[in-house]
Structure 1
Amino acid sequence: MSGIPLHAAAENNDVAAIEKLLADGAEIDARDGTGATALLVAVHANRVEAAKVLIDAGANVNAKDKIEDSPYLYAGARGHLEILKVILAHGADLKSVNRYGGTALIPASERGHVETVRTLIAAGVDVDHVNKLHWTALLEAIILGDGGERHQEIVDLLVKAGADVNLADGKGMTPLQHARASGYKEIEATLLAAGAQ
């Protein structure tokens, strides 16, 4: 629980308190000890109403905390889809990256957030962005995914969005090689159909 009233109100999803604090001159993008704004606190807790009020009042959707998370990046990574859609409509920086050098699409793909992946692709996030691990969203979905239905669907979405199926990791292993090594037959078939080597 934060010592900053606006942050506490955001964490508690207390819209009335947020509106009163802002009307009384609370600084909308004030930071707590972790560097988080009230909006990021709301996003962490998936407090949709609090997030909407803060965004509508002009909260910065791209303000990063000390570990380089922003409301936009965190909502995408965690699959907080309702908040993410509002953030995307309010100036999300699609090129911004997290502490791993990855866009919101990469952790969303890894964690199996199908609708979030679909939403981020539609918003125009670069499907072939490479993070500091030399992994793309496609590679993360295969390497860190479980090969199940959600990750199969994400691989399909990424491929249909034009992801480079032959973009290898830092060691030169391709998505197809990773899929085969993990025994993910359905993903392997999707990749092969898309011309994977």
Structure 2
Amino acid sequence: MKYYVLLLTGIFFSLNFLSCTNVSNQEDNTTIAANLDSLSSKAVNIPLIPLAPEAKEKLVNFKDYQDLHNLMVTLNKSNPYFIKKYQDSLDILIFNFKENAAEEKLFEKPIRSRISLLTTYANLLSEQTNKDHPNIENILSGNKKLMTSFNSLIIQLNEISLSIPSTIEKELLKNKFIKKDTIANES
């Protein structure tokens, strides 16, 4: 009988201990949920640079860029809760853009470096959002850096679309040298 009472007492204390830890885990989960409030009005709202008309024309059929741009517009206006929700989509869209940029003849060195920078900031943002206790300010700061790097990519896309193709550039240089030679011969 003593063993039976001892066994029941041990089971009772074990169950009581487990229920206390379960309550503390629920309190931790409500704290995390309170940190990333879906109704929060905190967002980055950095003005995104528009594409030049020539760049728009080149990228109008490049679906990966359009999808990435739409997500970046959404993330720019999102609070930390939704930034965390969209993080997986961001990683996939950047990867798709990087893979398919070569097919669109956009994979020049400046574009590759901007994509690498965008990937780096997306990974840093992912680390911030995947922490057990994410800090709202760190997530917003990471999102601000991500938007800045996306603006840098847009600037680079605009520059490449506005640049003179190498064949036209060679032709212009050739004409310039011919004009200089004719001027020198006339003098």
TM-score tier after normalising by the smaller chain length: under 0.3
- Report the TM-score, using the length of structure 1 for normalisation: 0.22
Relative contact order (alpha carbons < 8 A, sep ≥ 6): 1 or 2 greater? 2
